[in-house]
Structure formats: structure tokens, C-alpha cells
């Protein structure tokens, strides 16, 4: 039996001043044509590299190799940022997927957006100023939306989460934002308008936090087999793989706990999580990550 998964298009248009009011009717109509609703809960999943890029060149570009152009599009290059720090820039290698909850309770892929730029190599972010884009399980709460960002629109993903802090990782202000400038963030260019609108509407209509799960690539066996054993691969298989596989199997975002320094799949995300769930310290809501 179908269930109501969001507000009506008319009520949303009247009640929610989304980031781009002139395009919200088009967005609502596009979702409606796909059998989805603007304002329904969403799930964001990011891959730093697509499977096509992994097959062409699994390894990261190392220092000393200035640039690599992929036949399937996209590039890697080492360069210095405006502060003179060395950074590895990755252009149009990854993708950001937005899933929307459908009438049967599962999440269906609405749209896939190319990641314009992110920085760093494979693996988690560990230090403030390392220029690394994180990998792991993060979330966006209403207070992390930034409608007036210098990067057009933005939202903070909540790095460092409780897992990161348990490992002593440092840093802050890791965002999904507009433009193609990045120093640890996911720079989406003009696509941020739509991604922000989808996130804002979901949070407005009852979703307490939007899960943002960042993986190096689709964690399928053939992709993982291309990488040698080591600390980074162990992080993928021990910490990230279970969360990836849960969504692949159930098509519902997993609820992730960070317990004793490890990620653990607790269960599915509740349809409209209680805003008090996931508190790791007074006043801090981590959404999908529950700290112990």
C-alpha cells in the first residue's frame, strides 16, 4: 500500500522558500514524473571515482606525475593552492547520487551529478589542512545548511564525526558546495542548486538529518580486487563495506553507529528520525552516526 512520503507540490511551493524559487516547480514536476515527491526524505551517496575510472587507472596519481587525463573523461593533477600548499586535484572523476524515498519506503535513484572537483587521495581525512576529502558516514542537519555561502549554496557534512574524533582526526568546514574550487570539499558547480533544494526541502518536511555517505568508489568485489592489501584497503573493507552493502541489499540508508572506534551498521534509518537521536555530546546531533 502506498504511503504519503512528502507534502503536496502546492503546499511546498507556498510554504518553503527554496534556494531557487523560480526552479522549484520544475524540480517538483521532474520528481513527480519519476513517481517521487519534493520534500520526501533523501539519501546522498558519493563516490570519489566511478567504476569506469577505477578500471582505467586504479591507483592514485603520485607526486612527480603532474597530470593524468582519463579516456572516459576527467583528470588528476598535482598543483599548489593559493597558499602554496601541494594538493592533488581530481576533476570530474567522481559522482554524487541523490536517492529519494518512494511510496513503498525504499529509496530510488533520482539523479546522479558529476563531482566537479575534490582534493586528496584515497582514504579518510585525518588532519586539519591536509587537503583530503573525507571518506565515511556523515550527515546534514538544518543548522548546517548555508544558503548564503560564498560558494553560492553549501552544506556542511559534519566532519569530524564521532568516529573521526575517536581516532584523533582534526579539521572542520568540509562542505558540499558550488563552484569548482576545493580544498577538501566536494565542489559541485551549478548542480549545487538542485542538490541544495532537495536537501532543504527534505529537512523542512520532517527528515532530521540527510545521510551523506562518501566512498572511494563502488565497493564491489572486482573494484576492491584492483587494490593491494594495506591500511587504506582495510579501512574500506572493515569500516565502510558493511554500510555500502546494506544499502545495496535493502535500498534503505543504514543507521551507522561509531562504537569503540569502529563504524557499525545498527539498522535502517527511521523514516523521520527523532532529532534527539545520535547525540554524542550535549547539543551535537550527528544524524546517521550514533556515538558510544
Distance CA 136, CA 41 (A): 20
- Dig out the grid coordinates for 254 from the structure: 543504514
Query: What b/e sequence results for 45-68 when a residue is b if at least 16 CB atoms lie within 10 Å of its CB, and e otherwise?
Result: bbbbbbeebbeebbebbeeeeeee
Between strands 254-259 and 262-268, the pairing is: antiparallel
Q: Tell me which residues are annotated as active site.
A: 177, 185
Closest CA relative to residue 290, chosen from 185, 167, 139, 127:
139
C-alpha cell at 161: 564525526
Cα–Cα distance measured from residue 288 to residue 133, given in angstroms and rounded to the nearest whole number: 19
Whole-number Å distance between alpha carbons of 262 and 228: 22
CA 282 to chain centre: 25
Residues near 13 by beta carbon (within 8 Å), at least 6 away in sequence: 24, 25, 28
Which helix (H) or strand (E) segment is 125 a member of? none
CB of 41 within 8 A of CB of 271?
yes
Amino acid at each position: 500500500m502506498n504511503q504519503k512520503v512528502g507534502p503536496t507540490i502546492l503546499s511546498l511551493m507556498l510554504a518553503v522558500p527554496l534556494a531557487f524559487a523560480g526552479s522549484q516547480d520544475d524540480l517538483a514536476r521532474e520528481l513527480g514524473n519519476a513517481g517521487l515527491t519534493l520534500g520526501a526524505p533523501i539519501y546522498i551517496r558519493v563516490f570519489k571515482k566511478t567504476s569506469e575510472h577505477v578500471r582505467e587507472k586504479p591507483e592514485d596519481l603520485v607526486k612527480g606525475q603532474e597530470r593524468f587525463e582519463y579516456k572516459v573523461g576527467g583528470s588528476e593533477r598535482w598543483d599548489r593552492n593559493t597558499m602554496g600548499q601541494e594538493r592533488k586535484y581530481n576533476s570530474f572523476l567522481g559522482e554524487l547520487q541523490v536517492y529519494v524515498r518512494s511510496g513503498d519506503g525504499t529509496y530510488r535513484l533520482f539523479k546522479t551529478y558529476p563531482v566537479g572537483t575534490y582534493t586528496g587521495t584515497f582514504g579518510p581525512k585525518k588532519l586539519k589542512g591536509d587537503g583530503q576529502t573525507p571518506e565515511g558516514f556523515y550527515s546534514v542537519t538544518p543548522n548546517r545548511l548555508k544558503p548564503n555561502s560564498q560558494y553560492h549554496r553549501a552544506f556542511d557534512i559534519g566532519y569530524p564525526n564521532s568516529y573521526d574524533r575517536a581516532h584523533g582526526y582534526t579539521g572542520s568546514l568540509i562542505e558540499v558546495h558550488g563552484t569548482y574550487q576545493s580544498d577538501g570539499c566536494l565542489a559541485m558547480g551549478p548542480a549545487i542548486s538542485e542538490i541544495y533544494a532537495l536537501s532543504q526541502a527534505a529537512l523542512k518536511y520532517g527528515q532530521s538529518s540527510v545521510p551523506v555517505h562518501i566512498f572511494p568508489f563502488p565497493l564491489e568485489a572486482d573494484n576492491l580486487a584492483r587494490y593491494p592489501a594495506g591500511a587504506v584497503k582495510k579501512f574500506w573493507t572493515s569500516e565502510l563495506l558493511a554500510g555500502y552493502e546494506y544499502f545495496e541489499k535493502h535500498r534503505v540508508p543504514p543507521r551507522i553507529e561509531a562504537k569503540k572506534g569502529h563504524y557499525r551498521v545498527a539498522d535502517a534509518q527511521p523514516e523521520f528520525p527523532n532529532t534527539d537521536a545520535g547525540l554524542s555530546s550535549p547539543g551535537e546531533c550527528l544524524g546517521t552516526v550514533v556515538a558510544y
